Amino acid sequence: MAGQTGEEYSLEMDKFPYTALSKTYSVDQQMPDSAATATAYHCGVKANYGTLGLSAAARRDQCSTTQGNEVKSVLHRARMAGKSVGIVTTTRVQHASPAAAYSHSANRGWYSDKETSRNCKDIAYQLVHNTDINVILGGGRRYMLPKTVKDPEYPKYTGSRQDNTNLIDVWLKNKKNAKYVWNKKQLDDIDEEKTDYLMGLFEPKDLDYELYRSKDSDPSLTEMVEKAVKILRRNPKGFYLFVEGGRIDHGHHGNRARRALTETVEFDNAIGKALSLTSAQDTLSVVSADHSHVFTFGGYSARGNPVLGLSRIRAKDKKPFTTALYGNGPGYIRGSRPNLRTTVTDDKSYRQQSAVPLNSETHAIEDVAIFAQGPMAHLFHGVQEQSYIAHAMAYAACLEPYQDCQLTDRPNNF
């Protein structure tokens, strides 16, 4: 993408001075999902597959096991300590990774009251009621609006809520200097110096892939991060911001590597923007992943071969193959493989081949990287359980249960 050979290029996250590895399995499964993994790195405990903000004593789909098994995220603890807090994502804001920062749900799919049990509060409801979040940016409008309300951008669609409650209005009520936006222009017009609360929901569900994003109607992840940091950093007590490039995962599930890798580049751009707006003297920055995917590269290609290009060697069927491949997923070819050409593989929607046929590619179990810089970044070292991330961040900032840590080199922001 930069017009260079690529192998020697360093992402912003590659430049962080401290690294560690995270073991991502959940309590009940080898291959985790983003609900259990997000609970681990947000809240500091390993959890069961598909559950959010709950200890492993809770059971998926069993609403009655929620009460008494809730665990608090670092974001929530930071807010209780007086810091400003925010979440920014390219998925719906009720999706698993951000939702573990504020919700407690026995099923990650209980986005609104349309999907959940009557006895359990849905994730969108909890977004508004559980934690006083200053900045919320991403998708997910439909889960906040009643089924009788038309979407402002796509009038043929309506909200999904059955309780006739407009949660956006509920969130805005009794807040000073609070704004709600649903398109890029409205976001651009927000004056950060006069805004204490900002909710931006730019699509009914997830935001579009960066490859297809309308630059006039929807902001990029980088643009959302810039707005969030400029609002949150005004708090003299500091801030906590969670940022997710959530559609990286979605691209992989479809065996569409170009989508996933382009999302990764945009995620890295957002990291760079956040670093430019903060200082490593007072801001701890931590970058990691929920989990890995069954995604691989190979083929003995020459230096500088496009990462999404064809290998220079051929397979036993005498046909070319892409260097990027998947272990399983919808890219499986039944019968003989096609004779690939770069005119085909260069297409934005090209689906890489996979070894095993599945409707959706699965997560994998490899350890994932943790990159860190800033005060107390040296806490991130070695091979750690994923739940260690939350404890390291809480300890670094002297948040509950480490309020008495008495560190001199502790971060104000993270």
Catalytic residues, by residue number, are 34
For residue 142, what is the DSSP state? Answer: G
d(CA 24, CA 21): 9
Q: What is the DSSP string of 111-138?
A: -STTTS-TTS--HHHHHHHTS--SEEEE
Question: In which element (H, E) is residue 267 found?
Answer: helix 257-277
The 8-class DSSP code of residue 413 comes to: B
Q: Which residues pair with 310 in a beta bridge?
A: 322
CB neighbourhood size of 251 (10 A): 23
Q: The tokens of 107 are what?
A: 């099923």
DSSP 8-state symbol, 301: P
Place of tokens 């095993």: 356
Determine the longest span between alpha carbons in the chain, in angstroms: 68
Categorise residue 204: left if φ over 0, alpha if ψ from -120 to 50, beta otherwise.
alpha
Q: Quote the CA–CA distance of 232 and 241 in Å, as a whole number.
A: 8
Quote the tokens at residue 8: 């020697």
CA distance 276 to 67: 42
Contact 354, 8 (CB under 8 A): no
Tell me which residue of 173, 97, 160, 165 sits closest to 132, measured CA to CA.
173
Rounded to whole angstroms, how far apart are CA atoms 199 and 171? Answer: 9
